[in-house]
Structure 1
Amino acid sequence: MNIPSEPIGSLPRTVDVLNAMAGGDGAALDEAVDQAVRETIDSLQDLGSTVVTDGEQAKASFWTYPVDGADGLAPDGVVIPYADGHQRQLPRLTAGPFRYRTRADQYLRTALRHAKVPVKQAVVAPSALSLLYPPQGIDGYPREAFLDDLLTESEQEIRGCLDAGAHSVQLDVEEARLALKLDPSGGVLRDFVELDNRLLERFGEAERARIGVHTSPGGDQDSTHSLDVDYAELLPELFRLQAGNFYLALAGEADQDRVLRITAEQLRPGVRVFVGVTDPLDPRVETADEVRDRVLRAARHIPPGQLGTCDDTGFSPFADDRSTSRQTAFAKIRARVEGTAKAAAELGG
């Protein structure tokens, strides 16, 4: 029995990367990132990861990396409040046409130079970037024109990753659960799903099998933005997305069996669900036996042939989040990999 286990994406940046980001020296940052990606991938491979990521070492933010440093943006966009009281604020688009300044395939190509196993690439979903467009609109650049440009940019990014040799591409739709907090009627969430499906419809069935969707209640400075939103309100809508893989935060949920039952009700043939078995927001490192037991619990609801494991979310998805050390992150990943293997052996037996 094989149960795949994958990281979500980000890992704490190395000290050299953080110092280079703060110093503003592009050449120094490139050198620090290349070394950090090498160290990250080597560490993941040494832990037994059969799929790796670059740890998003070059991204200051998993959410805004395509437009960091771009023109036509103001700093006073949508505010994302977290449970501990801190906030993140997105930029606000002030003019069109909308274009990516950076695409993730450039990160992927760096990772592929160092990896000996398949590489997954995380990208931000169009639904997340749609929040950059202001509610009051932009003169001469209507919202639908913006969305068309956004979908084209996102499609080109994903195709670039697939063509470059990505094992899979993961759409980060962390804003999905948050949408229900911003609009309890569900209208914003439905709009997000429709937009992301417009993107997925641009790909063939074989390509969509290599595209996944990750959702979580957020993870920043050991806090969340939407853990209080009931998964039961999210999952039926989320599973309308025509993706081949789903990565669901689960380890941090109070009633995991309930979430698994809801997930099983929505599961389609040919879809694989990766359930979170480690919680990056919990400073305690899970044991391999705890992970094994979580996998076995999940297998009571989800057919093992459609089951995978992951971390609930990325570690330190924003570069200034230093709440988790690299040592802790890799220890949790070791527990995930070893615990998943133990569960797979039991299920196979």
Structure 2
Amino acid sequence: MMKSYQPFTTTVVGSMPKFPWLYRPKTAEELKEDYKYGERGVWTFDGQLRNIAINDAIRVSIRLQEKAAINIISDGEQRREHYLTHFTKKMSGFDYSRLAEKIIRGETKAMVGRCVAPIEHVAPITIDDLSFLKKKVDQPVKITLPGPMTIVDSTHDEYYFDEKSMAEDWAIAINREAKLLDKLGPEIIQFDEPAFSLYPEKVSEWGIEMLQLAAADLNANTAVHICYGYPHPEKKRSIVDSYPRLISILEDCDIDILALEFEGARLDPKLLSKCPSKRVRFGCVWNSDQRIETADYVAERLLRAADILSPEQIMPAPDCGLSPCSFEIAEKKLRILSEGTKIARERSK
């Protein structure tokens, strides 16, 4: 359901940095030796102590966004070890006791969970997360869920033996979670689909259909996040020229917001001409680079985007989640994002 926003409404993709006192990241060498998809670190607390520590981390994540004057905020996904396995491990149908080797995102070898039975939603997964967030803030909030195509690409199918059938059951299951979340009144429910960027043919064949099934019948604004991913430390990303085709396809779907990477991939804002009816969460600071953009640079990128779409359609944000960053870098990038947005608002009047 499309709602009106102020010019250049700022937001985030979802994740914030994990604090080392809560979650110790594995070293690049550890990941290289034993790359289990979704396990990039180790929790430093167990049981109730972990819950207390996570609540503290969420409060810090909220404050980080509030200090930067972000308009629509998340809980930083602090309860999630990983944006995807947090859900697959809680749905029926997946087995993580014995992993399978798989090439994901077209080129990355990983040990992934196995789909061994029908996928079903058996209990709420993130209801308490959203409820906690809404109790802590007065401003609009968002929450993210993994999309069907990315689930199919990130797990090993030993039950369906058909990508679309597996995606459909995930879409039905995650839609049940989305409807529960929708009752709590989030501003945005976002579906993460980094796999879209690598498989535009599959997006046309069944990806869009399954995405719309996942996002069906929601009152919140719906969003789909597409980026080129950050699969493994020290591994160069594959940037394929899929955005022109993807954005054209997405223009004709029922999703309200396209959450797109522009900065890290150095993409031309003119691509926005392919989605004139959409609101776009416009990535204008790169989440996987220690370099800090300048406010003037961010403003210039936003104003170039505003040559194509109206300022009310453009939502400044990082390219992707800020979990790859240190707290200090994330704080600086969000501050620059906010300062650049303020300049763009003034110059666009």
TM-score scaled by length of structure 2: 0.83
Is 1:331 the counterpart of 2:339 in the alignment? Answer: no
| Equivalence for 2:190 | 170
1:89 is displaced (CA, Å) by: 4.1
Taking the aligned partners of 2:321 and 2:102, their CA distance within structure 1 comes to 22
- Residue 247 of structure 1: SS of its match in structure 2? strand
Taking the aligned partners of 1:347 and 1:222, their CA distance within structure 2 comes to 40
Is 1:288 the counterpart of 2:295 in the alignment? Answer: yes
Q: 2:280 aligns with which of 273, 276, 294?
A: 273
Structure 1 gaps, min length 5: 181-185, 317-322
In the alignment, residue 107 of structure 1 is paired with which amino acid?
Answer: D
Kept after mapping to 2: 8 A contact 1:190/1:237? no
Q: 1:117 to 1:272 in 2, by over 3 A?
A: same
Kept after mapping to 2: 8 A contact 1:104/1:123? no
In the alignment, residue 348 of structure 2 is paired with which amino acid?
Answer: L
1:108 is displaced (CA, Å) by: 1.2
Percent identity over paired residues: 21
Taking the aligned partners of 1:156 and 1:7, their CA distance within structure 2 comes to 24
Q: 1:40 aligns with which of 30, 45, 61?
A: 61
* 4+ residue runs over 6 A deviation: 142-145
Q: 1:167 to 1:46 in 2, by over 3 A?
A: same
1:272 is displaced (CA, Å) by: 0.9
Is 1:154 the counterpart of 2:168 in the alignment? Answer: no
Q: 1:224 to 1:49 in 2, by over 3 A?
A: farther
1:103 is displaced (CA, Å) by: 2.1
Task: Out of 65-74 and 283-292, give the one that drifted further.
Answer: 65-74
Per-residue Cα deviation, 1:53-103 (whole angstroms, up to 9, x for no partner)? 1111111111221123667414216433698xx654431201234336662
Kept after mapping to 1: 8 A contact 2:270/2:305? no
Is 1:219 the counterpart of 2:230 in the alignment? Answer: yes
Kept after mapping to 1: 8 A contact 2:120/2:169? yes
Taking the aligned partners of 1:148 and 1:135, their CA distance within structure 2 comes to 13
- Residue 332 of structure 1: SS of its match in structure 2? helix
The structure that is strand-richer by fraction is 2
- Residue 199 of structure 2: SS of its match in structure 1? helix
Kept after mapping to 2: 8 A contact 1:250/1:312? yes
Taking the aligned partners of 2:119 and 2:104, their CA distance within structure 1 comes to 25
Q: CA RMSD in A?
A: 2.8
Q: 1:215 to 1:2 in 2, by over 3 A?
A: same
Q: 1:110 aligns with which of 115, 132, 143?
A: 132
Task: Out of 11-20 and 291-300, give the one that drifted further.
Answer: 11-20
Is 1:252 the counterpart of 2:267 in the alignment? Answer: no
Taking the aligned partners of 1:128 and 1:338, their CA distance within structure 2 comes to 34
- Residue 81 of structure 2: SS of its match in structure 1? coil
In the alignment, residue 214 of structure 2 is paired with which amino acid?
Answer: L
Kept after mapping to 2: 8 A contact 1:223/1:281? no
Taking the aligned partners of 2:194 and 2:147, their CA distance within structure 1 comes to 9
Kept after mapping to 1: 8 A contact 2:106/2:198? no
- 1:29-178 matches, cutoff 5 A: 29-68=50-89, 72-73=94-95, 74-76=98-100, 78-80=102-104, 87-99=109-121, 103-131=125-153, 134=156, 137-138=159-160, 146-178=166-198
1:290 is displaced (CA, Å) by: 1.1
Per-residue Cα deviation, 1:269-309 (whole angstroms, up to 9, x for no partner)? xx211211100112101111111111111111222232221
The structure that is helix-richer by fraction is 1
1:109 is displaced (CA, Å) by: 1.5
Kept after mapping to 1: 8 A contact 2:115/2:159? no
- Residue 91 of structure 1: SS of its match in structure 2? strand
